[in-house]
Chains A and B, each alone.
Chain A
Amino acid sequence: GENVEQHPSTLSVQEGDSAVIKCTYSDSASNYFPWYKQELGKRPQLIIDIRSNVGEKKDQRIAVTLNKTAKHFSLHITETQPEDSAVYFCAAEDSSYKLIFGSGTRLLVRP
């Protein structure tokens, strides 16, 4: 089955700097890759997603890139703000329609 690895586990950046979180996946049949932001005890919130027929997608300060050949995808947050501090999860939808999550990244944006 699908296996998703996520790095780093924690990331601390200065307000205004960029943050990059990287994920790799194993199932070449996966073709949907969402990114979620989660607050403690709450449901994950979709912040951006990308499908395998696209290499990059951007939404204001957030962008995601996908390299299908290398089976990795990344989340880029520019001009970080303190309210961006949260736990972020990548995920891949495998060939069985299941979402498999990465281990999560705790992002801290220092004012």
Chain B
Amino acid sequence: GAVVSQHPSRVICKSGTSVKIECRSLDFQATTMFWYRQFPKQSLMLMATSNEGSKATYEQGVEKDKFLINHASLTLSTLTVTSAHPEDSSFYICSAPGQGRGNTIYFGEGSWLTVV
């Protein structure tokens, strides 16, 4: 079946540095991918919609200059957390819809980011 792979699964970075998280659809094309953030014991909060070949659409309150999203191909979206701070430490997870609205959503494995 369809698979979405996310890398890295865990990353520790120093304050002020940037870290990139990749989300790949392994056996299907994903013109749209979604990025979520989940703090401990909280829900998945949608950060942005990644659109292949065009700019990402950010949810209200999400800083687009801090969370850079690039969707350069039909199988890869990247999220770069720039100038990371400890409060950015969280679980980040991507998803991609199978074929469109109302079809199965495939999630990546998620990435734990710890900023020290």
A residues touching B (Cβ–Cβ < 8 Å)?
A: 31-32, 34, 41-44, 46, 51, 89, 93, 96-104
Contacts and interface: CB of A to CB of B under 8 A. Distances in A.
A99 B34 contact: yes
B93 interface: yes
A19 to B, nearest CB: 19
Contacts, number: 48
Interface of chain B: mostly helix, strand, loop or mixed: strand
B102 A89 contact: no
Contacts of B95: 99
A49 to B, nearest CB: 8
Given A32-B102, A97-B97, A43 B110 contact: yes
B101 A97 contact: yes
Nearest to B108: A43
Given A98-B49, A100-B46, A104-B43, A43 B107 contact: yes
Nearest to B48: A98
Contacts of B46: 98-101
Contacts of B105: 34, 46, 93, 99
